[in-house]
Structure 1
Amino acid sequence: MSAVLLCLICAGALLYSAEAQDAYNELPDNYKKGVDLVWKQLSSHAGVQHHFLFYRSVAKTDIESGFGVRYIYHNFHLRPTRCAKGTAETDLQRCPFRSDRPLMDCAVCYKMLADEIENEPKPYVHCIQRPKLTQQMTTARLDHCRKMAYNSGAPTLLAVSTE
């Protein structure tokens, strides 16, 4: 009986992580690129030992600035898995979620031109374990991203003189 229960739990964990992968696959490409940027930074951080999977979006903003320029803001949660960081992408589908670790709350904002993330202004990435997130951090994230979008300094057609 306990073997059957264990099999059901394992199957549920696999289905649950597959649902998270489906949530990532349903994101528009502009938002996937931001999630990938966060994964890249998390996997290069020495203190991070496990792999994270996209769990859900909390907030998304896409500001069209003209001439193919977009400013993207994405606040989302990542859920830790039992797989070590550096796990091959083909094996990530089988990574069960950890229930003994909190969600990672991430915010990322960046400028895109022609569907690619621009290096200037530098993309902003901030991730912290969910219980440690404060209102001041949330406000600071939003302020930083608003400044990035509104202070782009890019010329517009209206600024061009025809004289």
Structure 2
Amino acid sequence: MPRVSQAHLDARRQQIVDAARARFASHGFAHTSMADIIAESGLSNGAIYRYFTSKEQIVIAVCEQGTEALPKALTPEAVAGFLEYVRARARENRHAQLVAQIYAEAAVSPPLAAVVQRQLAAMRAAVAELVPESRRADAAAIAEAFVALCASYSQQLAIRGDLDPAPFTAALMAIIRE
């Protein structure tokens, strides 16, 4: 029996994660079964279970790939660009709905909560590094507020639909400048 390459194995695993992401975004975690993920992926039961033994493992894999691209600077243009990126992902693939579901599921799943907590900590650390020198003493608090407001923007997109990021950009810039 020929061995398959690691690239092939990685592609199949990604196919499963992509199928699950699409199904979770459109139907939610509670209304998605392993059978739904199998159907969405086009793979067999055996193929799915080779990579994941439970839906929770798939949810965690989806979450682990969900890190947002943060702004490269805390300027109005960079922050607006970042929020527009979040907005575009919400429109294109219902990413905001998926994030809302991940947060809700993390509230009752310690393994998923650990992944989300690591991601949020990494985001806060990255933002803190971008805080202007004149505000360095407040970098941790600024990063905490920045990440919280960005998460709120995503949640608002999930619930209210397409929203102009301008008021959120203005609020984030006010936090940074104070």
- Is the TM value for this pair above 0.5? no
Larger RCO: Structure 1 or Structure 2 (Cα < 8 Å, ≥ 6 residues apart)?
Answer: 2
Q: Which has the higher strand share?
A: 1
What is the TM-score normalised by the length of structure 2?
A: 0.32
